[in-house]
Structure 1
Amino acid sequence: MSQSTAANRYAKALFQLAQEQNLLNEVTEDLREVKIVLEENNNLFQLLDSPKIDSDKKKAMLSELFASVQPIIVNALKLLVDKKRIHEVVSVIDAFVAQANDAQGVADAVVFSTHTLTDEDKQRISTAFAQKVGKSALHITNEIDASLIGGIRVQIGNQIYDNSVATKLACLERELIG
């Protein structure tokens, strides 16, 4: 995803503030949740970006909706409203998470499986695949994909490790058919 220079600047400032307050892990996790809320609720995002709604009302809405997240996040969201940059909030979050991941030696990974992974499964996958990408750990998001039949597919950035039964069957079919 392409990120604007402004989004990177806001992310860097928020990152530095989170580090100064020793809240990097908490802010990172809260920002992941904020991103999910904004992406899943398109109407909310449209309200926050609407020029018809007063900035004070938008900021009050943000304070109420995100009362359980770190206060520096709510303040950053309010700043984006004031500067008329709320439309870049997802880019700001993505840039922040990338900086936090680099600082912590972590990478984001999506693991596709036929069933929900246990914490133990996630830990084993993190241990096995983190070394392959030169990181100390992975932050795993599990997505269910019944078409895999069995096994898993791991996506870390633009790298995909596919050990699914469906892929193995497709390879076998190509070999047999020629």
Structure 2
Amino acid sequence: MLTSKVAKRYAQGLLDFTKESGQTDAVFAEMKDVVKLMSESKDLNKFFLTPYIDANKKTEVANEIFKSFSPVSQNLIRLIIKNGRESQLKNVAQQFINKVEDINGIQRITLTTATQLSNENIEQILKSTNLVNASANFDIKVNVNPAILGGYILRVGDQQIDASVKSQLNKIKKDFQLN
């Protein structure tokens, strides 16, 4: 998914500010909460995306939802709403998380499988490839997608290994069509 320039700019501004004030770790945890909340609550997303609800009402709701957050995070959320960018709130939070993880040298790994795997199997997959730096810290997200039929799709940063049965079948199909 492409992230907008708006989200990247807000995230960079927040990162610069938190570095100066020494609040990066606290805001990092709060931005993780924002992403989690926005991912889990369809109603909250609909509320923020509704154009006929004015910014003042959205700000009141956001103040109540995020009242336990630090003033820095609260001010960012209010600023985003005031500027009419509430549709980008989750993206801004995710971009901030990504930037902090990049600074800390954390690799983001996404593993998509057809069925749920054990931790041992996940470790074997990670060890079998040279994309994963064994000495680095990593944040792994495991997705289950039965549509890939079997195998796995491993994405590390901007590199991907597609060892899924579906892609293998598609490759065979394409070869048959060419011959």
- Compute the TM-score of the two structures, normalised by the length of structure 1: 0.68
| Distance in 2 between residues matched to 1:88 and 1:147, nearest whole Å | 29
For the 8 Å contact 2:131–2:156, the answer to whether it is kept is no
State the Cα distance separating 1:80 from its structure 2 match.
0.9
Deviation at 1:67, TM superposition (A): 4.4
Residues 70/121 of structure 1: CA separation in 2 closer, same or farther (3 Å cut): farther
1:48-87 aligned within 5 A:
48-67=48-67, 72-87=72-87
Residue equivalent to 1:153: 153
Match of 1:90 in 2: 90
Distance change (3 Å), C-alpha of 1:37 and 1:154: same
Residues 94-131 of structure 1 deviation map (CA, whole Å, 9 limit, x = unaligned): 432332232011232221124434566656656666x6
User: What one-letter code is carried by the residue in structure 2 that aligns with 1:79?
Assistant: L
Following superposition of structure 1 onto structure 2, how do residues 28-177 of structure 1 map, counting pairs within 5 Å? 28-39=28-39, 41-67=41-67, 72-117=72-117, 132=131, 136-164=136-164
Counterpart amino acid of residue 77 in structure 1: I
TM-score, normalised with respect to structure 2: 0.68
Q: Is the 8 A contact 1:108 1:157 kept in 2?
A: yes
The answer (yes or no) to whether the contact 1:112–1:154 under 8 Å persists in 2 is yes
Cα distance change of structure 1 residues 57 and 8 upon mapping to structure 2, 3 Å threshold: same
The total of aligned residue pairs comes to 175
Instruction: Write the letter of the residue equivalent to 2:48.
Output: L
- Counterparts in 2 of 1:13 and 1:27: CA distance versus 1, 3 Å: same
Deviations 1:58-116 (A, max 9, x none): 22311333345555333311121123222332342343233223201123222112443
Q: 1:133 to 1:71 in 2, by over 3 A?
A: farther
Quote the Cα distance in structure 1 between the aligned partners of 2:70 and 2:124.
30
Give the Å deviation of 1:140: 1.3
Structure 1 pair 173/10, CA: closer, same or farther in 2 (3 Å)?
Answer: closer
Structure 1 unaligned runs (5+)?
Answer: none
Q: Name the SS of the counterpart of 2:131 in structure 1.
A: helix
- What is the identity, as a one-letter code, of the residue corresponding to 2:87? H
Residue in structure 2 matched with residue 3 of structure 1 by the alignment = 4
Instruction: Output the CA distance in 2 between the equivalents of 1:115 and 1:156.
Output: 20
Q: Distance in 2 between matches of 1:118 and 1:71?
A: 41
Determine if contact 2:126/2:132 at 8 Å carries over to the other structure.
no
